[in-house]
Amino acid sequence: MAVSDWELVRRCKQDDRQAFQELVERYQRKAVAIALGMLHDREDALEVAQEAFTKVFTSISKFKEESSFYTWLYRIIVNLSIDRQRQRSRRSMFERHPSRGDDDDDWVESIPDTHGLDPSDLVAERERGQHIRAAIDELTPAHKAVILLRAVEGLSYEEISQVLQCSRGTVMSRLHYARKKLQKRLGHDL
Amino acid sequence: MASCSHPSQLISLVYDNELDEARRDEATSQIADCPECAHRLQLLERTHETLSQTLDEEVARVDFSDFWPRIEQGVAAQPVSLTSQWASRFRLWRMQWHAPFSWHVPAWATAVGLFLFTAAVSTQLPTSRGAVQIPATKKPVRVALNNQAQIESLSATSTVLVWNEPTSNATVIWVDEMPGEELP
Ligand SMILES: [Zn+2]
């Protein structure tokens, strides 16, 4: 049986690096998924996720087991992502972000398995991917966070309210708005 | 499509599994026969599927081989403060013992302990009546219990007398560097 998060956290508090590594490996994909959803940049997302885990380790003694470990981790990631986005928009006032282009070259390699796909299907798939990504990017950080935590991580309203430190009602209204906006923007792509 | 009177929040609550069993059953039966609600529910499902699929694909392209080593480096580069180390050890100790007490209990225990210790020490101290009075002019060199070697070395140059005080049960060693003076 897998060791519980709580047990790994307890061992981390005793400076057990192996327990920490286990926590990192358990949550690295989820952590990067949130950061990627928030930032739409692989390098930035990896840096933010790594910074979040480093913060987790250095402040693990302050973590109280009142909430689950992952809501704490996700809160750090969301906050760091928002900070990163602010820095990026300040920077982009002077220069364009080098790893992002309007063409979104990422999507050329983003098509998962191109074998057996018709070239016109490939183009359609690429365009659909661009539309989805653009629709996510148009959301505000608060709306992005709420929809990512619900749709990608599968968190409950209560857990999302813990991550975002807001009321359950705010979670519901933000979620409602984010879904409506995405559906309106995506239309036929859904 | 004919517009329905069901609030869209209800569909969200059903889809997100945020209703208790009784309310969920009620809501499900309400929207079951409504084509517009069925459409909204489908739309919600597709929105979530699209999002999670998009993110899954993006994460699948991420190379995680360097992920842990970089965190390990980051952690190693962090300065560790001694106070936070001790604070975390103390918290851990409290956590392990489930701390069935609060802060004022150890504080009271320390205060009572100190009081008992002070009381015990003060009752053991010799009173002025029982103490051996040594005249200032006699210049006593040292008082020790059964230190034979010390007594022998002193008796080579001075007059040394050893006796037992019956009231305090202490051995007194009298050393007088000027022989012939009157003894106490
Ligand atoms: Zn309806």
CATH fold of the domain at A117-190: Arc Repressor Mutant, subunit A (1.10.10)
CA-nearest residue of chain B to A53? Answer: B71
Q: pLDDT band for position B175 (50/70/90)?
A: low
**pLDDT at B68 exceeding the cut of 60:** yes
**pLDDT at A56 exceeding the cut of 80:** yes
User: Quick one: tokens of B35?
Assistant: 């084509």
Q: pLDDT band for position B99 (50/70/90)?
A: very low
pLDDT at residue A53, as a whole number: 97
H/E stretch holding B53 reads helix B35-60
Mean pLDDT across chain B, nearest whole number? 72
A-chain CB neighbours of B50 within 8 Å are 132, 186, 189-190
Query: DSSP letters of A17-36?
Result: HHHHHHHHHHHHHHHHHHHH
pLDDT at residue A35, as a whole number: 97
The model's pTM is 0.67
Measured between alpha carbons, how far is B55 from A107 in angstroms, rounded to an integer?
12
pLDDT at residue A24, as a whole number: 97
pLDDT tens digits, one per residue of A145-183: 999 999 999 999 999 999 999 999 999 999 999 999 999
A48 touches chain B (CB under 8 A): no
pLDDT at residue B171, as a whole number: 58
**pLDDT at B155 exceeding the cut of 60:** no
Say if residues B11 and B5 touch (Cβ distance below 8 Å). no
pLDDT tens digits, one per residue of B27-54: 998 888 899 999 999 999 999 999 999 9
Q: pLDDT band for position B87 (50/70/90)?
A: low
pLDDT at residue A125, as a whole number: 80
Query: DSSP letters of B153-180?
Result: HHHTTSEEEEEEETTTTEEEEEEESSTT
B-chain CB neighbours of A46 within 8 Å are 62, 67
A-chain CB neighbours of B58 within 8 Å are 33, 36, 42, 110
**Angle CA(A136)–CA(B12)–CA(B39) in degrees, nearest 5?**
85
A88 closest CA partner among A55, A40, A132, A51: A40
Kindly give the distance from the C-alpha atom of residue B38 to the centroid of ligand 1, in angstroms, as a whole number.
7
Domain map (residue ranges) of chain A: 1-97, 117-190
Measured between alpha carbons, how far is B154 from A173 in angstroms, rounded to an integer?
96
Measured between alpha carbons, how far is A135 from B47 in angstroms, rounded to an integer?
11
Mean pLDDT to the nearest integer, A7-24? 94
Q: pLDDT band for position A141 (50/70/90)?
A: very high
**Packing angle of the helix pair A69-91, A42-58 (nearest 10 deg):** 130
CATH architecture of A1-97: Orthogonal Bundle (1.10)
CB-nearest to B88 from A13, A17, A151 is A13
A152 closest CA partner among A40, A50, A33: A33
Kindly give the distance from the C-alpha atom of residue A83 to the centroid of ligand 1, in angstroms, as a whole number.
41
Mean pLDDT across chain A, nearest whole number? 87
Query: Cα distance from B59 to chain A (closest Cα, Å)?
Result: 6
**pLDDT at A58 exceeding the cut of 60:** yes
pLDDT at residue B143, as a whole number: 43
pLDDT at residue B174, as a whole number: 53
pLDDT at residue B138, as a whole number: 45
B116-127 core/surface letters (b: 16 or more CB in 10 A; e: else): eeeeeeeeeeee
Measured between alpha carbons, how far is B10 from B30 in angstroms, rounded to an integer?
10
